[in-house]
Chain A
Amino acid sequence: MASGGLEYYSVKEIKGPLLVVEGVKNVSYDELLEIETSTGEKRLGKVLEVGYGLAIVQVFEGTTGLAVKGTKAKFLGRTMETPVSEDMLGRIFDGLGRPIDGLPPIIPRDRLDVNGSPINPERRDYPTNFIQTGISAIDGMNTLIRGQKLPIFSGAGLPHNMIAAQIARQATVLGQEEEFAVIFAAIGVQNDEASFFKKSLEETGAIKRSALFLNLADDPAFERIITPRIALTLAEYLAFEKDMHVLVIITDMTNYGEALREISAAREEVPGRKGYPGYLYTDLATIYERAGRIKEKKGSITQMPILTMPNDDISHPIPDLTAYITEGQIVLGRELHRIGIYPPINVLMSLSRLMRDGIGEGKTRADHPDVSSQLYASYARAQELRSLALIVGESSLTPVDLKYLRYAEAFEKKFLAQGYYENRDIFKTLDIAWEILSMLPEQELTRVKEKYIKQYYKKTAE
């Protein structure tokens, strides 16, 4: 790419976030460019399509205020890159990676393409290290594993930020002292949400090993395509060049999806479901797949994207396609929130796909897999009975059925519910689990091996 520096004043058309530039020569696909308005304001863009003498360009900061006349497009001869350095920890950046904390500029150790490159699946190391988050519903039933991508599916007004902050504060790997570096990417969120994270990282001193990238609600919408990629490029550098364990929190992916939809509409592409482009799945995958571990490298990237489900609808394209890519999902429930349960995790809708290889003997405790499976099965049964009881009344339920109802209540109040500052270790979590499972008759615990029942089941004097 040797076109660096070529300048054109030949903008032919402006369409939404897109510019059509004519008469270009030697411009390459995906090339970065600088756009200068007639008043001297500078913006960034990239080439989406290019042919002889014609390039379609997307402007990250949007085209508001741009005119066909007087707009200068300067092609930079390279794709979008970001500087990376360990010194970026402890710092705050805008959505395009420029420092906004008033501290001196970063001296980059390297400049890397923000799109990264796919990890060769053959070189991936399968993640199996249990991360203790101190939250029972996660550790006990939806375990987070180092190198996993596990999103939080939330809804407007639900405490997803608190949960993410609590995880960032409490996450440890059993028996290892290493702390996570935290990379936080805000995509179109309100300023108070971003400052909530900042404060909570400051509270524990974690801010020193954190980097914050902020694209706030009133920042340019098309920057949102880039912000998570810059954050992940730094994460890859820290994890795979500097041996760090990195936790990446991205919020809110729904805003990302909307920015993508807008660009697609401007390009007049055939829309898919709800107007989102047909390539939404593949595009999201180029973000979410940038997590994991690599053989012979010490570091890891654990991703925790947050998204709010429009209308609490999990089948909406963004949560739907996200869950098709991530290794499970933590789903928050409005019902639980309403009755005052924190964290309001709907365990039945939640799933951690990497859990099975990170728990059990030698990792957490031998009975953990059975206990988790039994908690699920019994709670699912209890939910069925609850809806039945609503119709026919508790009186027509059998005595065993009634025990299930009591179990479900205890499950929510004792196991699920805990404090924002309460950090339960896995053994405590499993002990609570046995306490509530013991409310059911021994015979009902068919998912648990008899030896564990002998060891942990608490017979009540009845």
Chain B
Amino acid sequence: MSQEKGRITWISGPTVRAEGLEGVKMFEVVFVGEERLIGEVIAVSGDKAVIQVYETTSGLKPGEPVYRSGEPLSVMLGPGIIGRTYDGVQRPLDVIATKIGPFVKRGIQVDPIPLDKKWYFEPVLKIGDKVRGGYVVGYVQETPLIKHSILIHPEVSGKVKSIVKEGEYTANDVIAEIEKDSEVYKVKLYHRWPVRKPRPYVQRLEPEVPLITGMRIIDTLFPVAKGGTAAIPGGFGTGKTVTLHQIAAWCDARVVIYIGCGERGNEMAEVLVKFPELTDPYSGRPLMERTILIANTSNMPISAREASIYTGITLAEYYRDMGYDVVLVADSTSRWAEALREISGRLEEMPAEEGFPPYLASRLAEFYERAGRVVTFTQNNSIGSVTVVGAVSPPGGDFSEPVTVHTLRFVRTFWGLDSALAYSRHYPAINWIISYSLYVDAVARWWEKEVEKGWPELRRKMLEILQKEDELKEIVKLLGPEALPDSEKLVLDVARIIREGFLQQNAFDPIDSYCSVQKQYKMLKMFMEFYEKARIALEKGVPLSSIRALPIIAKMMRVRYTVPNEKFIEVDSISQEINDSINKLLEGMKSG
């Protein structure tokens, strides 16, 4: 650590100005005041700097020292990250609590990963191997679910000079040495990486495998691909957090990073209470064994909120670099943008729209750009991905505000939440008319191969009915339902059945919460077959009222929470019953 120090000249909330910092770099970490509060340089001019401080600045005085670190804001990457809850600058909140109790105070310095814990390390490299950044040195079983590849720092290459035998080591032990031009680099179980710099990869690939979330409206209608991006904007209480919790709990990624960015403390508590009890649907292990939480709640310092997004995405890239599919969910990117705005305001920068700084759009673009499916630098060039899902909280639920508008420029899936749906308790309140996914064609192949051939066609038909309903509703509003012919009334009926029986999904029902792709497909087919059958019956003269009175309809609408995933085949027998009861109506006609 550099001994140079400057001094504080001005304090305004989380922003501090200092002088006497000759040569200080942008984004360098500094320690502010006698208590050495962590801060980061966000503007430099001559020997003067503006610093955002990650902790409350109450009580700081002009004249107090500012110490340089010489390093940019970085995270510590090594075993011991999974299962943890961090604040925005990777301080483990459990360790802080053990040290100082249930309230977060400032000036606490703790190691992001345990440095004294012994890990069983199995080497894969040999002395003399030629290596470059991103190579796997060996493995550590981090949790029963995660085999952690110990990676060489991306910017190091050379020849292996020494490597330890398999056995127990702590994060601080040197496990290998790499030599290049007579310089020796010591490899430990961890390395550091600056959060604002994307980690390198060999090559970017097009996403083509869907991220399965178990939510029907997402998987079937508006899918996101592994390595893709999605945004979920919506007013308060429309279901952003529940959707993100559901994705974090059920999606088929190997590592999940949940960033609570300027949101509620109790929501983090909920995850911490429930995830250890839930099991990963793919392995049966407790969910925390694949989850990392970053909790910088709304009342915690806002500079750390700004940093939390970068901390999260860097951890995501790190596990991607081991060849894992990683999902990062951020709740809410609007709070991050507001932190940017507040800091920018204190710098007296020229504001653009609604007080946000002019660089809001480019910051958002950079963030979503860090998602992707890539070929990694590991020896066997394994493929990893980072999928990013961001919640957006527009003021007044108005999607024309800057954060929503810019976000939609950079993401390829849009789940638009609708307050009207939420008020009528239609959950998830994702509006099927405005939402879209640009991954549909890419993932269609997967569905046809892994689930069933007819997926794209059935999906299209379901959307058609929903769109038709939307048009017809306008007419009904003006003229009443009686103005429509029976064939169109049937469309309205079926659309309602689809809305309540398929699109709606109760996240808190033990069965409905997660819907397997097989069950989704069977349900999709059941509803579309019902429509076909009913339509033909109607054409043949069966009265609409008899179709409406079929008791099977209620049964069909209950399938979502009566048929468990593993018994998805039973959906077929309900389809059969539908078939039979409509046939009966037709026969009744002939005989009657």
Contact = CB atoms under 8 A, between A and B. Distances in A.
Interface of A: 1, 3, 26-31, 48-52, 79, 113, 115-127, 147-148, 240, 269-273, 278-279, 281-282, 285-286, 289-290, 292, 294-297, 315, 317, 320-321, 323-325, 327-329, 348-349, 351, 353-354, 356-357, 369, 373, 376-377, 380-381, 383-384, 388, 391-393, 396, 443, 446, 449-450
A392 B297 contact: no
Given A278-B341, A327-B264, A125 B60 contact: no
B107 interface: no
Contact of A121 (B9, B101, B260): B260
Given A119-B103, A289-B298, A320 B396 contact: yes
B268 interface: yes
Given A118-B103, A120-B102, A270-B345, 12 more contacts: A28-B59, A118-B299, A121-B93, A126-B273, A270-B351, A270-B355, A282-B342, A285-B299, A325-B264, A376-B425, A380-B425, A443-B553
A121 B297 contact: yes
Contacts of A270: 345, 351, 355
Nearest to A327: B266
Contact of A354 (B17, B63, B105, B266): B266
Interface in B84-103: 85, 93-94, 96-97, 101-103
A136 to B, nearest CB: 17
Residue in A28, A121, A357 with the greatest tally of chain B CB atoms within 10 Å: A121
B345 A278 contact: yes
B480 A349 contact: no
Closest A-B pairs by Cβ, 4 of them: A392-B480, A285-B298, A380-B424, A315-B396
B120 interface: no
Given A123-B97, A327-B266, A356-B508, A282 B302 contact: yes
A48 B297 contact: no
Contact of A353 (B237, B397, B398, B501): B237
Contacts of A282: 262, 298-299, 302, 338, 342
Contacts of A285: 262, 297-299
B233 to A, nearest CB: 13
The CB with the most chain B CB atoms within 10 A, among A27, A289, A327, is that of A289
Contact of A122 (B61, B97, B354, B500): B97
Nearest to B509: A369
B478 interface: yes
B60 A29 contact: yes
A324 B482 contact: no
B104 A119 contact: yes
Contacts of A348: 423-425
Nearest to B356: A278
Contact of A126 (B101, B269, B395, B551): B269
A387 B93 CA distance: 51
Given A52-B9, A369-B508, A289 B423 contact: no
B354 A273 contact: yes
A268 to B, nearest CB: 10
Contacts of A278: 338, 341-342, 345, 355
Contact of A392 (B63, B341, B482): B482
A51 B63 CA distance: 9
A348 B423 CA distance: 5
A118 B554 contact: no
Contacts of A120: 93, 96-97, 102-104
Interface string B187-222: 000000000000000000000000000000000000
B59 A30 contact: yes
Counting chain A CB atoms within 10 Å of each CB, the highest count among B300, B476, B553 belongs to: B300
Interface string B286-311: 00000000010111101000000000
Contact of A373 (B264, B297, B425, B482): B425
Contacts of A295: 102
17 contacts: A30-B57, A51-B9, A51-B17, A52-B62, A79-B59, A120-B104, A122-B295, A124-B265, A124-B269, A127-B266, A320-B236, A328-B237, A348-B423, A388-B480, A396-B480, A396-B481, A446-B500
A271 B355 contact: yes
B1 interface: no
A71 B61 CA distance: 23
Main secondary structure of the interface of A (DSSP, over half): mixed
Contact of B102 (A48, A50, A123, A349): A123
A292 B266 contact: yes
A301 to B, nearest CB: 12
Contacts of A383: 424
B85 A272 contact: no
Nearest to B342: A279
Contacts of B590: none
A122 B93 contact: yes
A117 B104 contact: yes
Contacts of A391: 477-478, 480
A48 B482 contact: no
A61 to B, nearest CB: 22
A276 B17 CA distance: 26
Interface in B66-121: 85, 93-94, 96-97, 101-105
Contacts of B397: 315
B558 A446 contact: yes
Contacts of A51: 9-11, 17, 62
B270 interface: yes
Contacts of B62: 27, 50-52
Nearest to A290: B299
A9 B55 CA distance: 33
B58 to A, nearest CB: 4
A269 to B, nearest CB: 6
Given A117-B104, A118-B104, A28 B60 contact: yes
Interface centre among B17, B63, B269, B557 (most CB of A within 10 A): B269
A286 B354 CA distance: 23
B335 interface: yes
B103 A281 contact: no
Contacts of B104: 117-120
B301 to A, nearest CB: 9
A115 B396 CA distance: 28
Nearest to B507: A356
B12 A48 contact: yes
Contacts of A373: 425, 506
A272 B93 contact: no
Contacts of B59: 1, 28-31, 79
Contacts of A27: 61-62
A320 B557 contact: no
A293 to B, nearest CB: 9
Nearest to A236: B103
Contacts of B433: none
Contacts of B9: 51-52
B497 to A, nearest CB: 10
B479 interface: yes
B352 to A, nearest CB: 11
B103 A317 contact: no
A383 B425 CA distance: 13
A292 B265 CA distance: 9
A117 B266 contact: no
A450 B479 CA distance: 37
Contacts of A446: 500-501, 554, 557-558
Contacts of A351: 237
Nearest to A315: B396
Contacts of B557: 446
Contact of B355 (A272, A286, A354): A272
A113 B341 CA distance: 28
B270 A126 contact: yes
Contacts of A329: 237
A126 to B, nearest CB: 4
Interface in B1-52: 9-13, 17
Contacts of B551: 443
Interface string B214-248: 00000000000000000000011100000000000
